[in-house]
Structure 1
């Protein structure tokens, strides 16, 4: 382990974390992976798993780590500032979300709370890091998908499999830029060492812009079904949301989510391309991106 450059990874068992580990290995780095539930996979000589305890501030013993990645929710990062500082950190790259902007003005209080937590997490990282002479980089991806583990497109796919159709509010022509988890992982690893990225935040959108309607149609195609998109009036959609909220899987669905089907959620990633070499692929769903 000592002969490799060590990189700390918080949220190692997450979708993006799972994509990051092999990239760090290919980059000649040893991953010190932190998780509340360490991986049960076969031992990997390129990874040391350390378990985070539920009771804080009880941290595991950490080696010297100068570069850190946090792909856990950014609002939990402040809990580990002490551990990161003790390790001798020089740069921390943290994943946030463009939901910071999208949900800030939401009519749903739960979504407003998410936007507030994202903002507070970003602000806490910037303030703490600058106070201790540590560089920070914040990455804000759009709609992450991949490996059948995301909480966005996989939920649509599950709905389609179960019910055979998908409801739309209006024309659902709002623009989207889904981003593959692998592209987000590549940006995270790149941000560890790029000098121009120090103390900057970047939006990470996908390489293709398409309407919500087209995005859902492609999900149908990926699971081998012809699109059945049913346009529903607002009053009926509101009733439907109230009904599906009774099912645990759909309890987080809101009318605000339906309203956004007709809003453009588009972000420029030119700065990430310039400073991080970020080059996301087109929206393409593979078999392993869709849950069984």
Structure 2
């Protein structure tokens, strides 16, 4: 962490659980402000049937607690952001994965109506939130859920992605057991390894989060989905 000496602000963008092992090395570095990213998966995957996902939630929880304790003991102001479904210009594991599937197979499977609500947030809006929070005392020692500027169903999200690609996509409705099997098979293909069958169980769930406190404190104004 030699690179931090002389800096007074740390913005941590890697998975949050990677930060606590480095905290002791920050002591005495002069850091007075830490902004870090967690995830709303902390809530949406807490009761997942996947042990891997539950372990991830446990790691996030512990990392948040460790960061807050470290900062409190050393009078360092912290802010934790928990984004929803993050997307960017082909560099994310969410919307980009759906887009890759549509381009490759020209169809997309859904369980039931696919009416679970989503609120994707653009990575650039998260970057702007960081910049607006750095010197803002209102954000000190607080956590924020950061969601996108538009709420849409999972089905509408898929259709929007297809339209953005200019690719015709047939929506196929399949039973949950078949979807879980398909996702298990898909996870063996390159580029889809992080998909788990548990994702099928969440297609029709509401996974939106209110971000009114971020609007109030940092004038957070996220864009509509796929609005560049």
1:285, distance to aligned residue in structure 2 (A):
5.3
- SS for the counterpart of 2:81 is strand
Q: What is aligned with 1:84?
A: 26
Counting matched residue pairs gives 228
Q: What is aligned with 1:221?
A: 163
Larger relative contact order (C-alpha < 8 A, sep ≥ 6)? 2
Q: Which runs of 5+ in 1 are unaligned?
A: 1-58, 287-292
Q: What is aligned with 2:40?
A: 98
Q: Which runs of 5+ in 2 are unaligned?
A: none
Q: What is aligned with 2:110?
A: 168
Please list, as runs of the form range in 1=range in 2, the aligned pairs for 1:21-100 lying within 5 A after superposition.
59-100=1-42
C-alpha separation in 2, matches of 1:175 and 1:240: 22
Q: What is aligned with 1:263?
A: 205
1:61, distance to aligned residue in structure 2 (A):
4.7
Residues 1:122 and 2:52 aligned together: no
Q: Deviations over 1:147-183 (max 9, x none)?
A: 1101100011111111111111111100000001110
Q: What is aligned with 2:193?
A: 251
1:204, distance to aligned residue in structure 2 (A):
0.3
Q: What is aligned with 1:16?
A: none
1:86, distance to aligned residue in structure 2 (A):
2.5
Indicate if the aligned counterparts of 2:106 and 2:168 stay in contact, CA closer than 8 A: no
Residues 1:184 and 2:136 aligned together: no
Q: Tell me the TM-score normalised to structure 2 length.
A: 0.95
1:144, distance to aligned residue in structure 2 (A):
0.6
Question: Which of 139, 145, 151 is the matching residue for 1:197?
Answer: 139
Q: CA RMSD in A?
A: 1.4
Instruction: Please say which structure displays the higher CA radius of gyration.
Output: 1
1:93, distance to aligned residue in structure 2 (A):
0.7
Q: Deviations over 1:60-116 (max 9, x none)?
A: 354321111111111111122133333211111111110111111111111111111
Indicate if the aligned counterparts of 2:102 and 2:169 stay in contact, CA closer than 8 A: no
Question: Which of 70, 76, 79 is the matching residue for 1:134?
Answer: 76
Indicate if the aligned counterparts of 1:142 and 1:177 stay in contact, CA closer than 8 A: yes
C-alpha separation in 1, matches of 2:172 and 2:90: 24
C-alpha separation in 2, matches of 1:61 and 1:191: 22
C-alpha separation in 2, matches of 1:67 and 1:176: 32
C-alpha separation in 2, matches of 1:85 and 1:199: 18
